Amino acid sequence: MFKFLKGVVGGSGSGLKDLPYNIGDPYPSAWGSWTHFRGTSKDDGSPVSIFSLSGSDAQDGHLAAGRNGVKRLRTVRHPNILSFLHSTEAETIDGSASKITIYIVTEPVMPLSEKIKELGLEGTQRDEYYAWGLHQIAKAVSFLNNDCKLVHGNVCLASVVVTPTLDWKLHAFDVLSEFDGNNESSSGQMLQYAWLIGSQYKPMELVKSDLSVIRKSPPWAVDSWGLGCLIYELFSGLKLGKTEELRNTASIPKSLLPDYQRLLSSMPSRRLNTSKLIENSEYFQNKLVDTIHFMEILSLKDSVEKDTFFRKLPILAEQLPRQIVLKKLLPLLASALEFGSATAPALTALLKMGSWLSTEEFNAKVLPTIVKLFASNDRAIRTGLLQHIDQFGESLSSQMVDEQVYPHVANGFNDTSAFLRELTLKSMLVLAPKLSQRTISGSLLKYLSKLQVDEEAAIRTNTTILLGNIASYLNEGTRKRVLINAFTVRALRDTFSPARGAGIMALCATSGYYDSAEIATRILPNIIVLTVDPDSDVRLKSFQAVDQFLQILKQNNEEMSGDTAALGLNIPSLPGNASLLGWAMSSLTLKGKPSEHGSSAPVSSNAPLAATSSDSTLVENAPTTSPIRVSSSFDLTEQHATESPTSTDGWGEVENGIHDEDENEKDGWDELEPLEESKPSPALANIQAAQKRPVSQIVSQTKRPIHSDSSSGSRSTPRPAKEDDNLWGSIAAPAPRTGSKSLKVKASTTIDDDDPWAAIAAPAPTTRAKPLSAGGGRGNKPAAPKLGAQRINRTSSTGM
């Protein structure tokens, strides 16, 4: 029947060379003469249980019964019967004596008596768990008796083991045999190993060895008696010593007592069938049994039943035994979500149960399921994940986010639902710190560029807030290219007042990333315009921002005038910057003013607005000084000759694409602060001043979004044909192209000619920005071509 593997183990008993499992420590109890060991697989280290039975003679009755148990366990399969993995026999030689040992390897289990002590359940929770366990054992016994026509013969507390998920399973099949009730003349085949059963567990007909009575009895008669013995040992907490103890019913629950008495009927034909025990006993009707039963047949339920069940499950889980919830319900729930049989409300229950686990257990049991759910096509599942991402986002590794989570989350940026687009945007507060620079620059910023011109005002506002939050995760080159353009050209010109306020707040919170030249030429001119904004909150924020940035410039001036040795040091960031995350999170849940909805795109009722008057308190509490980065070789000459390629003093150059190659060394600011040169003669000075005056007017005109071919001349670079298709790329001035290498330009302020931001820029918004005279730009400055326009008007007025 079995092949004998004769390997010498040296008498240590620590394991077998031919057994692909490691034998560990034994449990203190096991059924019959078997010893129950903990074990692990040699291949992958997975846990197993190993049962061993030894005998000195190959013809030993215990070994023969053990071989019968191995054969039966291998061939009988049921969810409530112990799962068989491997078996072998080995003969070990110790001196002159030999010993034969049978090994059975099964799924990892623990004796029921030991698990009960470990759980320590009491009261209602204990009764509910016992009810679930007895329900499982009754199904296993019913399967053997009614379906397989087999008799187990020794159902008791020792023959039940518990899995890591707290399921009860039946084993100890040494006595198991076929029920040959139709063959009364047969002898010696049925229950031939009944001598292994303790006398206290035997019904009267088995004590008398009256096989004729047993054959005339129902197939379940012997095992129904054994199930009654199990119930007694379970509730009394004592091992059955003699049959008379079964009459003591004080510890048996009243709802189970009638069935208990029918199981132990003195007449075999009147004993209760275990299948009827499952169907009829009100003892098995409790919350734990009903909940687990519903989960096990979840695929048979309709969507309404599932939705109702999962909405109640978070509250119900608090009332059930915690260990059963975590070890039984949680794996069932995770599996149901992973394979699509559970609805979106189940995610809330999964995360609530997961919050009761330790960090290590959560990462092992819950997180893999969550990561797989991000690939789901169910919009309700995706929405639930984004709404609860703050509960598990910290547990996600950077590699997991970058490779498995973000590619699926990014689909939400293009979703037709504004609510899902905004949830996706908010989720970046958690995910962006874990993204690689390649993903941020090549993908995330592309989506944010589109969202800054989204039709929903709340999404535009929250995009600005998000950019302020993730600024610290951008590299220096990306910050130079993106932040100022996004906050000034986009946010400060938005028709939605909370969006303008968010732009001001974002500039203040990221003030540590701008040098003094950018503050003076690109930030302050745009903020000052908003001091006359129609919205009082925007005006208040703009005044506070002007004070903050002016203080930065004053501090820079004092340092340049005082200690030149300190010019190369970076001033620490503003303490106020650290509060940006809290500001953004609170702003995401605030509502904008109703008066603003009329002047902007309609806002979804589900999409919270951002940046209200309450945000202004953050700026008030912020220090009035901000960090600046100044080169140690900084001087007045370089201050005017060197400038970031993306920085301008207005809007004309960045919108019209006009760049004078001959004036790269001047940057358009020589008229205001000329470089120190040798003074010309008074006459020559007057001529030069007269020549420069028209040029200054033309430069001022190019800073308006009005194109004039006559003003650019041969010295200007033609505007690209498709520049309107660019967003942040179009408003970022390209790097100056010059063949001269003599300029002393600081390396940190230069950007490569190939601007990657232009490559990922989104299409231009369908609506054009408000005219500058409307308060969204630099103010009402006189246009240079005004004189020409007047001459045309005078000509038309004369009728010529």
DSSP state letters, 758-772 = HHTPPPPPSSPPPPG
- Condensed to tens digits (0 to 9), the pLDDT of residues 446-480 reads 999 999 999 999 999 999 999 999 999 999 999 98
- Contact status, residue 719 vs residue 702, Cβ threshold 8 Å: no
Indicate if the pLDDT at residue 578 is higher than 60: no
Looking at the chain, the whole-number percentage of residues with pLDDT higher than 90 is 54
> Which pTM does this prediction carry?
0.66
Residue 271 has pLDDT above 90, yes or no: yes
Three-state DSSP class for 368?
helix
Region class of 400: left (phi > 0), else alpha (psi between -120 and 50), else beta: alpha
In sequence order, the β-bridge partners of residue 97 are: 94
- Of 450, 437, 440, 412, the residue nearest 728 (C-alpha): 450
Confidence of residue 189 (pLDDT cuts 50, 70, 90): low
- Over residues 692-714, the mean pLDDT reads 39
pLDDT at 184 (0 to 100): 52
Stretch among 186-195, 319-328, 775-784 having the lowest mean pLDDT:
775-784
**What are the tens digits of pLDDT across the range 608-652?**
333 333 333 333 333 333 333 333 333 323 333 333 333 333 323
Alpha-carbon torsion (563, 567, 568, 572), positive or negative: positive
**353 has a pLDDT exceeding 90:** yes
**Per-chain mean pLDDT for the chain:** 75
pLDDT: which is higher, 743 or 361? 361
- pLDDT for the residue numbered 728: 54
Q: Which of the pair, 454 or 746, is modelled with greater confidence?
A: 454
Q: Is the pLDDT of residue 781 over 60?
A: no
In tens, the pLDDT along 536-565 reads 999 999 999 999 999 999 999 998 887 544
The vertex-258 CA angle with 253 and 264, nearest 5°, equals 105
Model pLDDT, residue 637: 33
Q: What size, in residues, is the chain?
A: 800
Position 162 scores a pLDDT of 96
pLDDT computed for residue 57 by the predictor: 78
Positive or negative: CA dihedral 63, 68, 69, 74: positive
Q: What is the pLDDT of residues 389-411, one digit of tens each?
A: 999 999 999 999 999 999 999 99
Contacts of 654 (CB under 8 A, 6+ apart): 485, 489, 648, 730, 731, 732, 733
How high is the pLDDT of residue 800?
Answer: 35
Q: Phi-psi bin for 695: left (phi > 0), alpha (psi -120 to 50), beta?
A: alpha
**pLDDT score of 234 more than 90:** yes
Contact in structure between 708 and 789 (CB atoms under 8 Å): no
Mean per-residue pLDDT for 684-712?
41
pLDDT of residue 398: 94
* Residue 685 pLDDT class (50, 70, 90 cuts): low
Nearest CA-CA partner of 622 in 553, 558, 544: 544
Q: Is 487 exposed, middle or buried (0-12, 13-18, 19+ CB in 10 A)?
A: buried
For residue 580, what pLDDT is reported? 45
Binned at pLDDT 50, 70 and 90, residue 183 comes out as low
| Confidence check: pLDDT of 772 > 90 | no
Buried b (16+ CB within 10 A) or exposed e, 335-370: ebbeeeebbbbbbbbbbbbbeeeeeeebbebbbebb
What is the C-alpha separation between 86 and 18, in angstroms, rounded? 12
* Separation in Å, CA 599 to CA 464, 510, 529, 602, 774: 19, 28, 19, 9, 14
User: Which one has a higher pLDDT value, 685 or 448?
Assistant: 448
Q: What is the mean pLDDT of residues 287-296?
A: 92
Q: How far apart are CA 121 and CA 127, in angstroms?
A: 9
- What share of the chain in percent tops pLDDT 70? 66
Least confident range of 146-150, 291-295, 722-726 = 722-726
Which range, of 297-311, 352-366, 672-686, averages the lowest pLDDT? 672-686
Q: Which two tokens stand for residue 43?
A: 């291949």
Question: Which range is least confidently modeled, 89-93, 318-322, 404-408, 703-707?
Answer: 703-707
pLDDT confidence of residue 681: 52
Q: What is the pLDDT of residue 224?
A: 94
Q: Predicted confidence band at 741 (pLDDT cuts at 50, 70, 90)?
A: very low
Q: Which of 271-285, 452-466, 565-579, 758-772 has the lowest mean pLDDT?
A: 565-579
